[in-house]
Amino acid sequence: MCLSTVYKNNMEPASIVMKNVMRIECRDGKVILTDLMDRTVEIEGTLRQANLVDGYVIVTEN
């Protein structure tokens, strides 16, 4: 199972949006994150980078 930590704008501990993300959807100018517990977070922005091997995703906030 590939789970990721999602960061907002840059990859540093203070920028963590959500851990254990299992699903990422991009629609209507938003990035929608869902974690293992089925919690969701919406960020207005775009997906900048996803590295599933290292388990991180960076989202650029609008």
* CA pair distance 12, 39, nearest whole angstrom: 22
- Residue 45, domain extent: 4-61
Q: pLDDT, tens digit, for every residue of 7-60? A: 999 999 999 999 999 999 999 999 999 999 999 999 999 999 999 999 999 999
Q: What is the reported pTM?
A: 0.94
Residue burial 25-58, b: 16+ Cβ < 10 Å; e: rest: eeeeeebebbbeeeeeeebebeeeeeeeeeebbb
**Cα dihedral sign for 17, 24, 36, 41?**
positive
Question: Mapping DSSP to helix (H, G, I), strand (E, B) and coil, where does residue 14 land?
Answer: helix
Based on the structure, what is the number of domains in the chain? Answer: 1
